[in-house]
Amino acid sequence: MSHARIFDVSDPGQLPREPVDVFDDWLSEAAASEPNDPNAMSLATVSGEGLPNVRMVLLKGHDARGLVFYTNLESRKGDELLEAPKAALCFHWKSLHRQVRVQGLVRAVDDAEADAYFNSRGRQSRLGAWASVQSRPLASRAELEAAYAEVEAKYPGDDIPRPPHWSGRRVTPLRFEFWQDGEHRLHDRLVYSRIRETADWTTQRLYP
């Protein structure tokens, strides 16, 4: 299955000024072709010891301000982002032979945005946000199920408040790299970068 090649930097007029426009197109195509979770992305952080740490999370919103995911703020990733508020993301869409890498600064979403997303989740997921002490040692599955049952009894209806330790983080990009598979490993790599979040984007093509 072939796909149109990405933008030719020899003709600057062919390049969107904002990388989010390219990302929108690619994510829409992935949503139509990927069998599961086209919004899945790896999230890389750095521990207090300077060791890299990576895990899969789900993109839950994006616009010109950045890319948003949600988490328990007391989890390992929450602790690492508090200490070093920078992150790298990677999307890999196997069916499209494409990858997007993002590097940027991390900030909290506001309470209204976090509340709106939390309230859009299913009841069981909202209860789970209260029951799970994410990243902490767990003696047994039974202990988790007991914690869930306790929260379920506490909130028998649909009115479940957002836990104070659960919210969203926005990655404000300083660099996007769009990668597309090419024959004979002659891949396309196109980078958008800026020195700060208020600066204009520059573009550059890289050797594969």
Per-residue model confidence (pLDDT) at position 183: 82
pTM of the model: 0.91
Task: Identify the three-state secondary structure at position 29.
Answer: helix
Per-residue model confidence (pLDDT) at position 70: 98
Residue 207 DSSP class: -
Residue 71 tokens read as 């988490």
Domains of the chain by start residue, with CATH: 12-121+165-205 (2.30.110.10)
Ramachandran region, residue 94 (left: φ > 0; alpha: ψ -120 to 50; beta: rest): alpha
Nearest alpha-carbon partner for 84 in 51, 117, 55: 51
Is position 107 annotated as part of the catalytic site?
A: no
Nearest alpha-carbon partner for 69 in 117, 120, 101: 117
Tell me how far apart the terminal alpha carbons of the chain are, to the nearest angstrom: 21
- What is the residue whose two structure tokens read 């995911």? 69
Per-residue model confidence (pLDDT) at position 2: 46
At 141, which helix (H) or strand (E)?
helix 141-154
Residue 96 tokens read as 């499209």
At 188, which helix (H) or strand (E)?
strand 188-193
Per-residue pLDDT tens digits of the chain, which is 208 residues long? 445 556 654 455 678 889 999 999 999 999 999 989 999 999 999 988 889 999 999 999 999 999 999 999 999 999 999 999 999 999 999 999 999 999 999 999 999 999 999 999 999 999 999 999 988 898 999 999 999 999 999 999 999 999 999 999 999 999 999 998 888 888 889 999 999 999 999 999 999 9
Backbone angles phi, psi at 118, to 5 degrees: -55, -45
Residue 184 tokens read as 């004979």
Residues in the chain, overall count: 208
Per-residue model confidence (pLDDT) at position 80: 96
Per-residue model confidence (pLDDT) at position 1: 42
Residue 184 CA: distances (Å) to CA of 128, 181, 187, 188: 47, 9, 8, 12
* Catalytically annotated residue among 5, 55, 123, 185: 185
Cα separation, 120 vs 133, in Å, equals 21
User: Bridge partners of 106?
Assistant: 171
Residues 6+ apart with CB under 8 A from 59: 39, 40, 41, 67, 68, 69, 91
Task: Indicate the residue type of 157.
Answer: G
